[in-house]
Amino acid sequence: MAIVLTAVMSAEMGELSVAQKPEKLLERCKYWPACKNGDECAYHHPISPCK
């Protein structure tokens, strides 16, 4: 019984961590590369400067 409960709790915790992570918006961050939010920013940060 304890093994089943542990598996269920682990699955629920995994789902919570995924659900709590905000999804990135497809729109480019207008403050990049000087964005103060860094990885926490909800907007897309390009890998290299746009041309």
> Do residues 41 and 29 make contact, with C-beta atoms less than 8 angstroms apart?
yes
- How far apart are the C-alpha atoms of 45 and 30, rounded to whole Å? 9
- pTM for the complete prediction? 0.49
For residue 44, what are the β-bridge partners?
28
Name 28's bridge partners: 44
pLDDT of the residue at 4: 47
> pLDDT tens-digit profile of 9-38?
555 555 545 455 567 788 999 999 999 999
